[in-house]
Amino acid sequence: MRIQRVLTMEVRTETDAYGEIEIPAGSYWGPQTERSRALFAIGDEYLPVDVIHCFGAQKAAAARANCVLGKLPEHIATAIISASEEVRDGRFDDQFPLPIWQTGSGTQTNMNANEVIANRANEYLGQPIGKRAPVHPNDHVNLGQSSNDTFPTIMHLCALRAVFGMLAPATKRLVSALSTRSTEFRDHIKLGMTHLQDALPITLGNEFQTWELQIKAAWDAIEFHALSLRELPQGGTASGSGVNGSPQFAQIVCEDLSSFAGVPLCPSAVPSQQMAAHDAFAGLCGALNMLATAILKTCNDIRLLTSSLAGPPSILLPDEGLSSSAMPSKRNATVCEAVIQACFRVIGNSAAVVAASGAGTLQLNTCKPLILNETINSIRLLADAQCVLATGCIEGLQADRDRLRLSLETSPVLGTVLAPVLGYDVAARLIRDATVSGRPIREVVEQSGLMDAAAFDEHLGKVLDPDRLNGKASALSV
């Protein structure tokens, strides 16, 4: 829950087009926000704080554009810009008391921003809070705008900042950790597993590389969908009609906001597209799902590889200083379990976004606050989860190359390696004999007289060459 300033019992009476209303005296919001605060009393979840900061940046850009276009007097524009930049910089975070669950166009949060900025701008001009003049929340702060185009613009800004400012560095950190371990373990030959049973040999490095490539592929998909959000609907006003707007307004705003967003922005050729539907968010959440499932695969594999279900574990968990409440010094895959739960939440968020994206009707999708909140929540969870997984698990995993090799050399799966040389039936019989007697496979093969120890070792060495297993050499015949 966002922490609010403690409001005194003192109130001020403010009047707008809908009559008088009492508002906490120290608040910067106005009548529309106060009525909404009472009406939309649903839960205790607030939109992410960056939504507020994005509103500050957007209102400042709009005021600059309106000043350039001659729509706002310079002194009014200057006051609005100064107030908006304070909102952008987080000075008024506690002046946004509305929950996520409000009008689906986000109108109440847009009006909340208009009122806070108008009151602060009036302070700059020597007027008291609540006077609504000389700066008016609608006539000046919201000039040339509508919630229909402003809120989806904020959605795009928030998502772009979260993906490239938060998720990208975290994904890079996890990929780097996996790549480092892949290189470190490239010579650690071990049993593969299919159907949770022994399978042909691979390297431990290859397992880490597989996880790394999954994460990279997911990031490519995320980046693709995120970049489609660079197109903003600002300037479409209500319904995408552009009524009460200026033709140059959108371009000026987009150029102004590009540095804040961290990527170049441009006006939408058809603004109504980003008002009536949010397919880009459905696609982005699908890509976030792809990342979540890749991370799930990684975590579940680590849990299996660090377990002792089939004898000594392939890798050892780092000692993070945590233990069982009943079993001293017992190490559990705690980081993996925490990350798995976060990934499940991301998958659930995606389901909500897809449903909400499909709920658009005619010229407006009216589930915008939900879509924005769940998308940003998913990005934050995946960013944090990847950093925790990298630093709290991947970077501290340990492996014993000799123990991995020993497990391989006593596995019945070596029958697959021997079959092309000795024949399928002979190889099957020798492996069965070794399994029943408990003797090493190398010993059973040598005693059969079909292959001496030197030939066995030479053949196994070719098959188990790390370059071959890592796919970095031309195939050798078995």
Q: Rounded to a whole number, what is the distance in angstroms from the first to the last CA of the chain? A: 63
Burial label, 299 (beta-carbon count in 10 A; 0-12, 13-18, 19+): buried
Instruction: Tell me the residue type at 52.
Output: I
Based on the residue annotation, tell me whether 437 is a catalytic residue of this protein.
no
Structure tokens at 207: 């397992």
| Active-site hit among 259, 307, 324, 437 | 324
Q: Which of 195, 325, 474, 477 is catalytic?
A: 195
Q: Catalytic: 82? A: no
Count, residues in the chain: 478
- For 5, 192, 193, the CA distances from 196, given in Å and listed in that order, are 56, 9, 6
Two tokens, residue 247: 């033709």
Q: Is 55 exposed, middle or buried (0-12, 13-18, 19+ CB in 10 A)?
A: buried
Task: Take residue 461 and report the two structure tokens written for it.
Answer: 């060495």
Q: What is the DSSP letter of 7?
A: P
Residue recorded with tokens 């691979």:
202
Of 337, 339, 371, nearest to 356 (Cα)?
371
Check: CB of residue 237 under 8 Å from CB of residue 62: no
Please enumerate in sequence order all residues whose Cβ is within 8 A of that of 413, keeping only pairs 6 or more positions apart, or say none. 191, 198, 199, 200, 201
Which amino acid belongs to residue 137?
P
Cα separation, 464 vs 473, in Å, equals 12
Is 390 in a helix, a strand, or coil? helix
- Residues acting as catalytic residues: 195, 324
